[in-house]
Amino acid sequence: MKAPLGGASVTTEPNPIDAGTAEPSPAAPAWRLWILLVWHPALGLPVDPVAVLGLDEGRQPAERVVRWVPLVYERADPWRERLGETTTSDDIERWIAQSGGACSLEPTDVPEGALDLTHAADRVLDELLAEVIPALPQRGDG
């Protein structure tokens, strides 16, 4: 998996032919993942991860999974307010256009071997907790 903060969004492509039967297989889910970020006072940028957002756009309405970083409840409030009950691709595009203030989001790769969208989001969160968050400087806000 590429570094989550700089990775590109990956959509799994359906394989139209199943090699074993040479018949069309069911469409694979179109999974996309983003890391939701908030302002990091010590760095002066929105680079502090607070959640992983996953969408399966192969379903109507799109299935959404959100995995929150533990112990960041208040810092994650801006994203809690934005997310609401549902999330669409249009919401994502609007948020990307508005990035750069207190909130931002970065696309990330779908981890290889993910069994479903929830598993994919959990694996990205695990990597954030193990590698990215410990590498950030202290927040310096109390």
Maximum alpha-carbon separation in the chain = 61
Rounded Cα distance, 107 and 4, in Å: 8
Q: Where are the alpha helices (DSSP H) in the chain?
A: 77-83, 89-97, 117-127, 133-135
Q: What is the pLDDT of residue 26?
A: 41
Residue pLDDT, tens place only, 43-55:
999 999 999 999 9
Strands 103-108 vs 45-56: parallel, antiparallel or unpaired: unpaired
User: DSSP secondary-structure letter at 69?
Assistant: P
* Domains of the chain, residue spans: 31-132
Do 98 and 78 touch, CB atoms closer than 8 A?
no
Residue pLDDT, tens place only, 69-125:
998 889 899 899 888 878 888 888 888 888 777 899 999 999 999 999 999 999 999
Model confidence, pTM:
0.75
| Token digits of residue 101 | 């203030």
Rounded Cα distance, 22 and 8, in Å: 32
